[in-house]
Amino acid sequence: MRQRWKIWVLVHIAVVTGLLWGSVFLTLDLAHPLAADLRGPLMAYAFFASVAYIILSVLHRIDLGKRLLTPISALTRDIRTLLDAKQIDRALREIDNHGLGQLPDAVGHLVDALRGARREVVRAMATATARVEQEKGWLEVILLELVREGVVLCSAEHRILLYNRPVTQLFRDSHVLGLGRSLFGLVAEAPVRHALERLEHRLQSGSRDLNTRFVCATQDSRTMLQARAALIIEPGGKASGYVLTLEDISDELEELQRNEAVRTRVTRDLRGPVASLRAAAENLTSFPDMEPEHRRAFQEVILNESATLSRHMEELAEEYRGRSEGRWPITEIYSPDLLGCLARHLKTSDDLLIHPRGEDHWLSGDSHSLMLALESLIRQIATTRNLRELELEAGSREKRSWLEIQFSGDPVSNQELATWLEHSMSSLPGLTVGQVFEHHGSEPWCDNRDGGRSAIRIPLQAAGAVVVDGDKLPPRPEFYDFDMMFAHSMTGELADRPLKNFTYVVFDTETTGLKPAGGDEIISIAGVRVTHGRVLTQESFESLVNPGRPIPKDSIRFHGITDEKVEGQPSIEEVLPKFHEFALDSVLVAHNAAFDMKFLKLKEADCGIKFENPVVDTLLLSLLIEGSEEDHSLDGICGRLNLEIQDRHSALGDAMATAHVLVHLVDRLEAMGIQTFGQVMKASNMEAELRFRGGHF
């Protein structure tokens, strides 16, 4: 290397010396004797020396670019990749035939030093957290054995921050479950908001009892859940989120409904014979001429039987009523909470003015269903009596409590009240207003008073001492991201949000061929969620698809999916809506995304859906970061990042690999100063335009 540079220097000195001597002689006086003899040869020498110098300079520049500039550019990209991607296990690529001397070796030593420093940091962090992880493991084992309910931790915006394994079982048929997704994609919204409203009221009133039980249904209304909600309080006293425990009680409620049906049938069937017996007794007493001996016998039989039947009927009704109360989810309700919620809801929804009255005490019941039943009664009264104002009073005596709806107007007949109680509850399918009160051991009755005042009294069970289940340990946390507590307020424009504040669904498809507009079909689709720089491998979607046509052998060579494998699998019209639900409210990501999105777009009309998600292409991101000199295939990028692809050319395997590539690329983009979604979309779209004009698409 040094010898080569010495030759270049000597050649340059010789040429420059010749040019200098030529210039000296050319400036001599033309009358000088030597001038005439040397002018011609010197002119020729100067000309050829100049040409030689130009040629040597061009060759030197070419050699300089090949041996210096290109190696320096490659070395710079390698160093930048190591720094931005924060990798510690990947060495610099070797550069052949360069003119950088000892520079690559020196940089290699610096990289080794950086790698060593990073390893020290990793070891220090591992040592510092080892004890915590050990204790966490102990706690997880304990919690796994103690707690069987599903647990969901949510932010104040109702975004899911944590859930455990029982939750995945409760919602195993739903593709909406995932970190950062809305809780209300899983469960009915109204009962949860009602429970939180009660807890917020308690918080503002200074109460320390910040948990409550209630009943809610899944979003598809197939499953009834018993839930407990507890607020998460910041040091400043503000609620920053809440925890829900969920338990499937559908079987219990079905049994309850069966018991109710049996109780209703038995009591109805018994009342007839009892009434007949009593009527017979009355008839006997109406015939005084009957012989005394016979009369006494009939009277004794009829009275004994009627008393026995009446006693059995009451005992049976009481038994089933007790079973109903015991199995129906019951919790403690603070009367000001219930009356306050009723007043606010009816003011907002019906412009009714409700005046809460009475003493503050605790009731026993299910607040959500009870409030809905009370709202129904109040609306019936207000409509039939043309009222805009009513009073709602709470009272108690010993172990019994009651609520009274008081109003001015015509009295309510028993028949009218019975009609109102038969009104179906749209928010609680299969239940009437009267059945809700029956579940609470209550039978409303009319109380018509003097002065044109009327009331409907609803007896309720008074609660005992309020039991706060604060000693129950939380269940095992398996999937979590606490940073999302404050990251999903959804404020601001989409373009201004940081890249790491999005939830991404990275997906891939396998198809019968490469011509979506030419009849080729999707035969497999898979996706995985990425949030806050973490690939959530547990939150994935994968499905084979029956294309309705034979799969070409040339395609099978790549993905290995045969006609036999897709036989009996769902059609794209069944699969794509489920994937659409899985990707809801997320940014779609794919490698060479235009290809996969074309297949999805062509099926939108057939499936009755529309993909309006923002789309990011990791191929364009790689081009934006590395430039066109590098290999931007998925294999090429993974090779540079030292990422291993599992199950290459399977939809889920490629989606997982692309997800890990995305995480690295986002780190690189942020290091380059491209930190918002708007910036990356503008830059990648510009790169796509340049690539299109260059003929790469």
Quick: pLDDT tens for 422-437: 888 777 777 888 888 8
- Average pLDDT for 660-677: 88
Which amino acid appears at position 669 of this protein? L
Supply 374's token pair: 């009370």
Q: Which residue has the higher pLDDT, 628 or 56?
A: 628
Please report, for residues 510, 623, 678, the alpha-carbon distance to residue 683 in angstroms, rounded to integers and kept in the order given: 29, 10, 9
CA distance 186 to 188: 7
Where does the pLDDT of residue 587 fall: very low under 50, low under 70, confident under 90, or very high at 90 and above? very high
CA distance 616 to 588: 6
CA distance 378 to 354: 9
- Quick one: pLDDT at residue 479? 43
Nearest of 623, 585, 579, 622 to residue 597 by alpha carbon:
579
Angle at 247 between CA 142 and CA 191, to 5 degrees: 130
Q: Which residue has the tokens 């000309």?
A: 47
Q: Is the pLDDT of residue 379 over 80?
A: yes
Q: Which residue has the tokens 């997880």?
A: 140
| 368-371 LR contacts (CB < 8 Å, sep 24+) | 368/190, 368/191, 368/194, 368/195, 368/214, 368/215, 368/216, 369/215, 369/425, 369/428, 369/431, 369/436, 369/439, 370/333, 370/338, 370/436, 370/440, 371/194, 371/338, 371/341, 371/342, 371/345
- State the burial class of residue 515 (Cβ atoms within 10 Å of its Cβ: 0-12, 13-18, 19+): exposed
Q: Is the pLDDT of residue 481 over 60?
A: no
Query: Mean pLDDT score of the chain, rounded to an integer?
Result: 76
The contacts of residue 620 (CB under 8 Å, 6+ apart) are 684, 685, 687, 688, 691
671, 84 contact by CB (below 8 A)? yes
CA distance 453 to 106: 97
Please give the model's pTM, rounded to 2 decimal places: 0.55
Supply 63's token pair: 């050699």
Most confident of 37-51, 303-317, 661-675: 661-675
- Quick one: pLDDT at residue 122? 73
DSSP code string of 277-313 = HHHHHHHHHH-TTS-HHHHHHHHHHHHHHHHHHHHHH
Please report, for residues 199, 274, 618, 661, the alpha-carbon distance to residue 657 in angstroms, rounded to integers and kept in the order given: 44, 76, 11, 6
Supply 392's token pair: 């709602």
Q: What is the C-alpha R_g of the chain?
A: 41
Nearest of 666, 640, 632 to residue 78 by alpha carbon:
640
- Average pLDDT for 475-497: 48
Other beta carbons within 10 angstroms of residue 397's beta carbon come to 8
- Average pLDDT for 636-654: 83
**Helices and strands (DSSP H and E) totals, the chain:** 21, 18
CA distance 1 to 67: 11
Q: Is the pLDDT of residue 40 over 90?
A: no
- Quick one: pLDDT at residue 477? 38
The catalytic site residues sit at 649
432, 107 contact by CB (below 8 A)? no
| 79-84 LR contacts (CB < 8 Å, sep 24+) | 79/107, 79/111, 80/668, 81/626, 81/640, 81/641, 81/668, 82/111, 82/114, 83/671, 84/667, 84/668, 84/671, 84/672
Supply 696's token pair: 């790469």
Q: Which residue has the higher pLDDT, 97 or 665?
A: 665
Report how far Cα 523 is from the mean position of its chain's Cα atoms. Answer: 27
Q: Is the pLDDT of residue 326 over 80?
A: no
38, 25 contact by CB (below 8 A)? yes
Other beta carbons within 10 angstroms of residue 147's beta carbon come to 17
504, 662 contact by CB (below 8 A)? yes
CA distance 177 to 168: 8
Q: How does strand 389-397 pair with strand 160-163?
A: unpaired
- Average pLDDT for 236-256: 80
Where does the pLDDT of residue 523 fall: very low under 50, low under 70, confident under 90, or very high at 90 and above? very high
CA distance 272 to 262: 16
The four Cα atoms 595, 599, 601, 602 give a dihedral, to 10 degrees, of 130
Q: Is the pLDDT of residue 397 over 60?
A: yes
Query: What 3-state class would DSSP assign to 227?
Result: strand
Nearest of 587, 583, 590 to residue 622 by alpha carbon:
590
CA distance 671 to 23: 55
Please report, for residues 228, 251, 331, the alpha-carbon distance to residue 363 in angstroms, rounded to integers and kept in the order given: 17, 26, 8
- Find the helix or strand (DSSP H, E) in which 397 lies: strand 389-397
Query: What 3-state class would DSSP assign to 673?
Result: coil
Supply 271's token pair: 């009342």
CA distance 502 to 308: 71
CA distance 242 to 486: 13
Q: Which of 72-76, 159-163, 602-606 has the lowest mean pLDDT?
A: 72-76
What is the 8-class DSSP label of residue 277? H
529, 505 contact by CB (below 8 A)? yes
Q: Is the pLDDT of residue 675 over 70?
A: yes
CA distance 609 to 353: 43
- Quick one: pLDDT at residue 469? 39
Other beta carbons within 10 angstroms of residue 9's beta carbon come to 10
- Quick one: pLDDT at residue 687? 56
CA distance 154 to 150: 13
11-30 pLDDT per residue, tens: 566 656 665 655 655 555 44
Q: Is the pLDDT of residue 71 over 80?
A: no
CA distance 336 to 358: 9
85-141 pLDDT per residue, tens: 555 555 666 666 665 666 666 666 777 777 777 777 777 777 766 666 665 555 455
Phi, then psi, of 664 in degrees rounded to 5: -65, -40
Q: Is the pLDDT of residue 623 over 80?
A: yes
Query: Residue 45, CB half-sphere, CA atoms under 13 Å: how many?
Result: 18
151, 166 contact by CB (below 8 A)? yes
CA distance 28 to 145: 107
- Average pLDDT for 609-614: 90
Supply 393's token pair: 């009073």
Query: What 3-state class would DSSP assign to 406?
Result: strand
Which alpha helices (H) appear in 65-160, and where do they start and end? 70-85, 103-146
439, 325 contact by CB (below 8 A)? yes
